[in-house]
Amino acid sequence: MPEVLIRGGTIVDEQGERRGDVLVSGVGIVAVDSTIDAPAGAAVVDAGGCIVAPGLVDLHTHLREPGAEVAETVETGCRAASLGGYTAVVAMPNTEPAIDNPSIARDVLELGRNALAQVAVAAAITVGRQGVHLTPMAELAALGIHLFTDDGAGVQDASLMRQALEYAGDLGIVLAQHCQDDSLAAGGHMHEGAWSSRLGIAGQPALAEESMLARDLALVRLTRSPMHFLHLSTAGSVELVRRAKAEGLPVTAEVTPHHLSLTHAEVASYDSAFKVNPPLREEADVEALRVGLEQGVIDAVATDHAPHAPEKKQVPFDEAPPGMLGLETALAVVSSAMSGRLGWVDIFAACSWRPARIGRLDPASGGRQGGPVAPGAAANLVVFDPTAEWSVDPSRLASRSRNTPYAGRQLTGKVRHTLLEGEPVVIDGEAQR
Ligand code: DOR
């Protein structure tokens, strides 16, 4: 691989922000300086007006393989990831069959080996995500799997969840919960509130999320095992996590770009692109999530990229599966939603090195994600133009599916280049393979 000189950008990593050029050789960064002369034969990529940062890390990606390759594959999902500036994704286990045993986990890891982003795997907590029997967690952990979740569903049985937490503590792994009490949420297709009443669509209350979160926080208090909370969506959830952290409980939490930017009012269009689980909530929830991210109560942004084939989504709202694309629009949406509240270091903290740590993909855990941008570090990098304006054209997305909630919208901020292990996999907004 030729050397690559990233010229003229503003470097953003955990150390802060500074102007500089970055020279990449092989899979690593070899020099960072205010100006670097291009070595003979080096490819020069322009970062003028751009931020050069550690590649983004998504803790929550549905790659749909095996089982729903018509909606996405590891290959297409990772291409979408790289175009969104992600250099690593954690593949969710709600595939068909579920990633609930070492053989399927190995298959997905193998599919990811030559993809345009590093693929880590989250394994299911229960066999078939049925909520009844625990998966062989020790065998799965032995493959290096760190996150376990039944995402798409919450583990309803408190006693089973307690047992899973006890094993997780012993194994040094982390359970990631989709907080949803089915007895409260069942039958709800959107947030229960003014819009669900007006539209005549059955809603699910904020309490469906908050009651399971409260239960799980109590289980963490009991077991002292760490836990991660997926896609929190309500003001009440932010408050519960705030108090849990103040108390010193070992918990982390994520928020999606869509819950930071959209409300349940979107459902007035009856467009199933706005159907998602947990559902889009109220203005006050969006505001609380933004404040939660600003204050570090919420640690990370995660996309919950959930592709669904067009024929699955082009049905009446209450028949459509929940889920939205997220990878290709996330950084623009988040940086706009948090503009004036978070500086660039904090934006990338939430999208890169904090999720890298939660997923144990960071250098301190033996991984290669999340920076720093410094000699000796892995060349997993994103070059982001924060002022570029673009309009989201679903037909031009790399994902196999089209279910973006931002179709036709004007976004500010676009990924210009992405480097994966030193390889320029996206150049000038185009995937290179
Ligand atoms: O909207 C969602 N879609 N939420 C989930 O938790 C699962 C996901 C999916 O897999 O489609």
Res 411 pLDDT > 90: yes
Contact 271, 318 (CB under 8 A): no
Q: Looking at 13-142, list the stretches that DSSP marks H as alpha helix, in order from N- to C-terminal side.
A: 74-83, 102-111, 137-141
What number does the ligand 1 atom closest to the CA of 62 have? 10
What is the SS3 assignment for 17? Answer: strand
Rounded Cα–Cα distance for residues 243 and 275 (Å): 30
Rounded Cα–Cα distance for residues 350 and 334 (Å): 10
Task: Please tell me the distance between residue 321's alpha carbon and the centre of ligand 1 in angstroms.
Answer: 8
Spell out the domain ranges in the chain.
Answer: 4-52+375-431, 54-365
pLDDT given at position 293: 98
381-409: per-residue pLDDT in tens? Answer: 999 999 999 999 999 999 999 999 999 99
Q: Residue range 268-283: average pLDDT?
A: 98
Q: Residue range 147-154: average pLDDT?
A: 98
Dihedral of alpha carbons 75, 56, 266, 178, sign: positive
Contact 145, 168 (CB under 8 A): no
The pair of structure tokens assigned to 15 is 């150390």
Task: Please tell me the distance between residue 199's alpha carbon and the centre of ligand 1 in angstroms.
Answer: 22
- Count the neighbouring beta carbons within 10 Å of the beta carbon of residue 284: 11
- Residue 296: closest CA among 334, 242, 229, 351: 242
pLDDT given at position 246: 98
Residue 90: CB partners within 8 Å, gap ≥ 6? 58, 59, 60, 61, 120, 121, 122, 147, 359
* DSSP structure string for 128-191: GG-SSSB--HHHHHTTT--EE--TTS----HHHHHHHHHHHHHHT-EEEE----HHHHTT--EE
pLDDT given at position 219: 98
Residue 203: CB partners within 8 Å, gap ≥ 6? 188, 189, 190, 191, 192, 193, 196, 197, 279
Residue 79: CB partners within 8 Å, gap ≥ 6? 115, 116, 398, 431
Contact 148, 123 (CB under 8 A): yes
Rounded Cα–Cα distance for residues 363 and 23 (Å): 19
Instruction: Determine which residue's CA is closest to atom 5 belonging to ligand 1.
Output: 152
What number does the ligand 1 atom closest to the CA of 94 have? 10
What number does the ligand 1 atom closest to the CA of 323 have? 1
- Count the neighbouring beta carbons within 10 Å of the beta carbon of residue 69: 16
In percent, the amount of the chain with pLDDT more than 90 equals 100
What number does the ligand 1 atom closest to the CA of 180 have? 6
163-192: per-residue pLDDT in tens? Answer: 999 999 999 999 999 999 999 999 999 999
pLDDT given at position 24: 98
112-125: per-residue pLDDT in tens? Answer: 999 999 999 999 99
Task: Please tell me the distance between residue 161's alpha carbon and the centre of ligand 1 in angstroms.
Answer: 20
Q: DSSP 3-state helix, strand, coil percentages of the chain (rounded to 5)?
A: 35, 25, 40
pLDDT given at position 2: 85
294-313: per-residue pLDDT in tens? Answer: 999 999 999 999 999 999 99
Task: Please tell me the distance between residue 257's alpha carbon and the centre of ligand 1 in angstroms.
Answer: 14
Residues with active-site annotation: 304
Domains 4-52+375-431 and 54-365 are alike in CATH topology: no
* C-alpha dist (Å) from residue 102 to 77, 136, 139, 165: 22, 8, 7, 20
Task: Please tell me the distance between residue 354's alpha carbon and the centre of ligand 1 in angstroms.
Answer: 23
Q: Which CATH number fits the domain 54-365, given the four candidates 3.20.20.140, 3.40.190.10, 3.40.50.300, 3.30.360.10?
A: 3.20.20.140
* C-alpha dist (Å) from residue 375 to 21, 30, 131, 379: 12, 5, 46, 9
Contact 390, 355 (CB under 8 A): no
Res 331 pLDDT > 90: yes
Secondary structure string (H, E, C) spanning 290-327: HHHHHCCCCCEECCCECCCCHHHHCCCHHHCCCCECCC
In angstroms, how far is the first alpha carbon of the chain from the final one? 15
The pair of structure tokens assigned to 248 is 């010193």
- Residue 241: closest CA among 303, 185, 179: 179
pTM of the predicted model as reported, rounded to 2 decimal places: 0.98
Instruction: Determine which residue's CA is closest to atom 3 belonging to ligand 1.
Output: 323
Rounded Cα–Cα distance for residues 338 and 207 (Å): 26
What is the SS3 assignment for 394? Answer: helix
Task: Please tell me the distance between residue 110's alpha carbon and the centre of ligand 1 in angstroms.
Answer: 24
Please give the order of strands across the beta sheet that includes 227-229. Answer: 147-148, 174-177, 227-229, 251-255, 300-301
Mean pLDDT (the chain, rounded):
98
Rounded Cα–Cα distance for residues 352 and 369 (Å): 8
Rounded Cα–Cα distance for residues 135 and 100 (Å): 6
Q: Which residue from 62, 189, 274 has its CB within 8 A of the most atoms of ligand 1, so it is best to mutate?
A: 62
Q: Residue range 328-344: average pLDDT?
A: 98
Confidence of residue 1 (pLDDT cuts 50, 70, 90): confident
The pair of structure tokens assigned to 163 is 């047992």
Q: Which residue from 129, 230, 276, 313 has its CB within 8 A of the most atoms of ligand 1, so it is best to mutate?
A: 276
Confidence of residue 358 (pLDDT cuts 50, 70, 90): very high
80-97: per-residue pLDDT in tens? Answer: 999 999 999 999 999 999
In percent, the amount of the chain with pLDDT more than 70 equals 100
Pocket lining for ligand 1, CB < 6 angstroms: 62, 94, 151-152, 178, 276-277, 304, 306, 321-323
Q: Which CATH number fits the domain 4-52+375-431, given the four candidates 2.30.40.10, 3.40.50.720, 1.10.287.110, 1.10.260.40?
A: 2.30.40.10
Contact 388, 25 (CB under 8 A): no
193-207: per-residue pLDDT in tens? Answer: 999 999 999 999 999
- Residue 279: closest CA among 322, 317, 315: 322
Query: Exposed, middle or buried by CB within 10 Å (0-12, 13-18, 19+), for 273?
Result: buried
What number does the ligand 1 atom closest to the CA of 151 have? 6
